[in-house]
Amino acid sequence: MTGNAEGRLLVVGAGTMGVQLALQAATNGIEVELVDPFPEALERGRAQLAELLDRRVSRGRATREQADAVLGRVRLGGDLTAAAAGCDWAIEAVVERLEVKRQVFAELAAALPPHAGIATNSSHIRAELIAGDTDFADRTLNMHYFHPIAAMDLVEVVAAPATSQQTLENAVAWAERIGRTPVVLTTAVDGFLVNRVLGAASREAFSLLADGVASFAEIDLAVRRGLNWPLGPFQIADLSGLDLLLQSRSTRFAEHGEAGDRKTVEVVRPLVEAGRLGRKSGAGFYDYSTDPPTPLPLPSADEAAR
C-alpha cells in the first residue's frame, strides 16, 4: 500500500491526546498546527508540551536545542479555519461526544484543501457515524493512537464504508511519517483490534474482582507474572483514565447488556465519584504518589457520594 504524507499536519483539540499527537509529529520533523477554540485549553496544551520536552532534556533523551526545535514546529491557535487552509491532513482529538465531532468534521471539510484527509482519533466512535452521508465521507476514517503516544508504537487505521482507497493509503503513510506502526482494518468492529482483545480480558478481570475471587492487586500480579504483561488490567485502567473507562463501559452495557460491563461500572463508578481517575489525578486503584504505586482500598458507593 502506498500513499502520500507530505506537508503540514492539523491536530484539533489541545487535550492530552492532541498534545501528544502534535509532539510526536513535530519530533519526526512535521510542521503542526494545534488548534483549540478554548484559550485555557491552549495554555494548558502549551504548558504540557514544554513539560514533556523538558522531561526529555532532563533525562538525556534530547538536547535543549533539539527540544526547542521540536517546540518550534508546533503552532498553537484558536482559529480552525485559518489553520486548516494550509494543512494537508487533519486528526481530530476532541471530547468523545458525537455531536461535537460532527461539527468539527464539517468545519474541517469546508476549510481543508480538497486532498486532505480527516481522521478521528476516537477509539469507539466510528468515522462513518461522524461524517454520515456527506460529500466528504470518502475523506474520513479512524486513526486510533494509544496513550501515551511517545511509548505506544501502534496506530489502528480503520476504514469506514465510504473511505476511498486513496484516503486509506494516505492515512497509512501519515501514520508512518508520524513515526508509528499502522495496522489496517478494512471493516470496523467494536473496540477495533487492541481494545477488542483487551476489553475481553478487562471485563473478565473486573468480574473476578466484583465476585470477590481475588483483590485487584492480586489479579494484576497474576496477569503480569502468568501472562507476562507489563501491566495488569487495573493498572492499565488507571493509565487510560477511569472516567473514560466508566463512560465507555456504561455505553457498552446500555447497548449490549453484558454482565462484565455492568460489573466494571459497579466497581469504577465509586472511584470516579471520589475523584480517583487514575494516574492523571494521582490516584485510582493505586496511589501514584509512592514509588512503586501502592494499592488503595476501594471506596463504597456511599463513601464516594460523601
CA dist 76 to 23, 212, 250, Å? 12, 49, 34
What is the per-residue DSSP string for 50-115? HHHHHHHHHTTSS-HHHHHHHHHTEEEES-HHHHHTT-SEEEE---S-HHHHHHHHHHHHHHS-TT
Does residue 88 contact residue 7 with C-beta atoms inside 8 Å? Answer: yes
Which DSSP state fits 216?
A: H
Maximal CA-CA distance, the chain: 56
Q: Are strands 32-35 and 74-77 parallel, antiparallel or unpaired?
A: parallel
**Known catalytic residue at 144:** yes
The closest alpha carbon to 11, from 30, 2, 97, belongs to: 30
Given the residues 115, 124, 144, 256, the one annotated as active site = 144
Upstream peptide bond of 148 is cis (omega within 30 degrees of 0): yes
Does residue 159 contact residue 139 with C-beta atoms inside 8 Å? Answer: no
Active site residues: 144
